[in-house]
A and B are shown apart, each in its own frame.
Chain A
Amino acid sequence: MNKWRLSLSLSGKMVYLSHLDLLASFERALRRSGLPVSYSSGFNPHMLISWGPAHPVGVGGDNECCDLVFTEPVDQQWPQKLNTVLPDGMRINKARPLEDGAVSLMAAINYAQYIIELENIVNTVAFDAAIERLLDADSYVIERISPKGRKRLDIRSAIDTLKLDDNLLYFGCRLGGGPTPKISELADILGVTVCSARRTGLFIDGNNGRMLP
């Protein structure tokens, strides 16, 4: 069994890396580790890794995931070897051999759970009203300005749950359907200031409930 599915955590300064830079960083660590990673053939061979949904810049992750192919069977303990050469803030939590024909992460994962740490909410009444307004609406259109221009996006369908506990906001987000809000956009809608945010898990949400990939 040479194909593995792994879950890794992102914390500290690593959360500021873009998804692409994170990939490069992870691949270099794999090369340093000397593990027998498989490469594609062709003029520009690349490592056979496929990632789950990209992590948003600035947001930590407890269970980011990717699939990785080795050229030969490897020892069960291989993640330890990789962990010694990963940058501070990047760490493999779990790895399991993947059965043949498993659905790819990108195709399977359709749900993300976030924990957003907020600064003290001064006006709780206004905050509760804002959450209610958002959850009661059928559609909620925001404007996103990027270097490429302005876009109007309906983010309502992506928002599954929003629950406040103390100063922690639990956000359940549907992926792969409509556009998803950035954490900063969500904060603007709710009129709150974010201290930090973490994606605690990526899931396959189906008829049988919510499962880890």
Chain B
Amino acid sequence: MLAINIWPQIKNNLPNVQKPAQYIGGEYNQISKDPAKVAASMAFCFPDTYEIGMSHLGLRIIYEAINAEDDLLCERVFAPQADMEAKLRQQHLPLFSLENHRPLAEFDLIGFTLQYEMSYSNVLNMLELAEMPLLSDQRNSWPLVIAGGPCVYNPEPLSDFIDIFVIGEGEQVVIELMRLVKEVKIANGDKQELLNRALKIEGLYIPCFYKKVATKNGIIIREPQSGQASAVVKKRLCADLDKSIFPLKALLPNIQAVHDRLMLEIMRGCGRGCRFCQAGVIYRPIRERNLNLLREQARQLVAATGYEDIGLLSLSSADYSCISELIDMLIADHSCSNVGVALPSLRVDAFSVDLAAKVQQVRKSGLTFAPEAGSQRMRNIINKGVSEEDIFAATEAAFSQGYTAIKLYFMIGLPYENNEDVAAIADLTQRILYAGKNVKPAEIRKPLKLTLGVASFVPKPHTPFQWHGADGEDVLKEKQELLKKQLRPIKSITMNYHDITTSLLEAAFARGDCRLGKVLLRAHAKGCRFDGWKEFFRADLWEQAFEEEGLDYRQIAAQTFNHEDALPWQHISSCVDSDWLWQENVKAADGQPTVDCRNGECNCCGVCSNLDAANVLAQKAGDDHE
């Protein structure tokens, strides 16, 4: 069988679209295979642009994991921008992969990664551009449509469209699934046979085996149709990161990606237990990579890519047990070739600034801190574990070392927050600026600049705050205004905040049930796409779509659940006990702290016993364990 390749048709359109290099593929280090010579193939679809998708480490890992298998193939697909989409539609050309410019319908699996709720309309749009029926029950043959990523911890808004959800870390389970595809295809089996047999693979949620059940508080939950499907689908986990696959010949994007640097994943999981944070729950337990392994991986990555920066990726890189040693090692190995180290996530403390100072030996970048809340009371409620002393120690250290621009991230709309807590953000920011002016070295003329990112809190499933509703439109508006009023007159402080309607829609899709699928269909039909992009977001169309379905996103976003209430995502498990999440929610109300479990004291979240796993911490060089 000859593989279809539509490159000639795509090429004809390139002179007439913006940034044509995003559609050409052929990047340095791209893995090219002959589709006709593999047993099973997947189109990995990132439901946003090339520049964003190519910055995503998960795509790189899955791409590497699948292509490392001789009989399997993974190719990349990104959402085309409006100009290219119009050309595809006019010319009846299907959406295509970058490696072989192959129509999506030619693959066995179409796999989406769901990183952000506001990309859901792009998922539907990409399926439509692939000339696939949107609804799962209207597709009876290959390819199957699967989805993974953090958003699948509440899969319900997309459960009418996706055949199989992959819960948790995907690099192993996707191989198991593709091997099954291979077996079923060899036996000439169909979609239903694959789904039946996929029930035996752990970590897969297959919606067609679950019925929709209405609860007394008006939401829809899912229950198994029969005994075959398990009542709760547990996440998958790579217990040993040292043994898991990592892309060492990283693809180099053809056009500058949002984060265009070498990606070195130093650990997964975070034990800090911030109560708003979904990543802090779903990626538990903590797994650090071995120090010497990281050193070797960095060497290979630098040699294979020629990147000028090594980005140390994790949820909180300063927490990595041997972070100082790691940075020293990397700088020793690479500074002579002008390759620097970048720490994308800094803790708010002086230690982190010392790390930043080491990093800056080669190349100086800006610093970003996330105190998240302005008042100590709020920081206790969210269990941020950061004191005002920490904040000033960090920012003063940064300014005294000559940094002149600092970014600060805050949230408004958190549970139990009042206007004094919001005002405390403005107050804290001004005091940071004032303190900075006092410690700034005299020789630096450039004025200090603080940039505030103020996000509206969106309650996420599988967090201690999953039972809380989001603040309403008026309340959020009032809180934004309050900050603007206090901070706008100050020239050296810039404040950016999130669009409220977008945040409320995100909140509705984060905790909503399967009824949202119908809304999504309508919104898509009306032309919604790239909803995360200000310039494309159409609040009016979303408004209409909800209205026509008799639903209200404001109400869904604001919905508060009680402890005993059923939740739309209760059939999906992060393996952290729900009782522990509730207990954390109760502790939040009193601002009681919970310590980071990496320091030895287990706080009994349940993840280790439920998965027969444990925190894995890196050892210092010298006392390396086998």
Contact = CB atoms under 8 A, between A and B. Distances in A.
Interface stretch (B21-29, B71-79, B214-222): B21-29
B192 interface: no
B252 interface: yes
Contacts of A194: 15
Most B CB contacts (10 A, CB to CB) among A13, A28, A58, A184 go to A13
A18 interface: yes
A16 B20 contact: yes
Given A32-B303, A39-B338, A43-B364, A25 B28 contact: yes
A85 B256 CA distance: 19
A30 B21 CA distance: 21
A102 to B, nearest CB: 25
A58 B28 contact: no
Nearest to B16: A184
Interface in B1-50: 14-16, 18-21, 24-28
Interface stretch (B304-312, B425-433, B525-533): B304-312
A22 B241 CA distance: 35
B306 A17 contact: no
B256 to A, nearest CB: 6
A81 interface: no
Nearest to A33: B306
B255 A21 contact: yes
Most A CB contacts (10 A, CB to CB) among B28, B302, B364 go to B28
B337 interface: yes
A44 interface: yes
A176 interface: no
A117 interface: no
A3 B24 CA distance: 34
A17 B21 CA distance: 5
A96 interface: no
Nearest to B402: A43
B101 to A, nearest CB: 11
A30 B18 CA distance: 28
A34 B256 CA distance: 22
Contacts of A58: 14-15, 20
Contacts of B272: none
B203 to A, nearest CB: 37
Contacts of A25: 28, 252, 254
A13 B20 CA distance: 10
Nearest to A38: B338
A31 B308 contact: yes
B363 interface: yes
A29 B338 contact: no
B15 A184 contact: yes
Contacts of A145: none
A21 B254 contact: yes
Given A17-B21, A25-B252, A43-B363, A31 B307 contact: yes
A27 B306 CA distance: 8
Contacts of B15: 58, 184, 194
Given A44-B363, A45-B338, A58-B14, A16 B303 contact: no
B359 to A, nearest CB: 13
A14 to B, nearest CB: 8
A29 B29 CA distance: 12
A87 B28 contact: yes
B252 A16 contact: no
Interface string A113-132: 00000000000000000000
A85 B303 CA distance: 10
A181 to B, nearest CB: 14
Contacts of A97: none
B339 interface: yes
A72 interface: no
A106 interface: no
A39 B27 CA distance: 26
Contacts of A141: none
A107 interface: no
B26 A13 contact: yes
Interface in A88-119: 88-89
Contacts of B28: 25, 28-29, 87
A57 B14 CA distance: 10
Interface in B335-388: 337-339, 362-364
Interface of B: 14-16, 18-21, 24-28, 252, 254-256, 260, 302-308, 337-339, 362-364
7 contacts: A13-B21, A13-B24, A16-B21, A24-B260, A28-B305, A31-B337, A89-B26
Query: When A and B form their complex, which 9 residue pairs have the shortest distance between CB atoms, in order from nearest?
Result: A28-B306, A31-B306, A32-B306, A43-B364, A16-B20, A13-B26, A13-B24, A87-B28, A16-B21
Given A28-B252, A44-B364, 17 more contacts: A16-B14, A16-B21, A16-B24, A21-B254, A24-B256, A25-B254, A27-B306, A27-B308, A28-B306, A30-B306, A32-B305, A45-B362, A58-B20, A87-B27, A87-B252, A88-B26, A184-B16
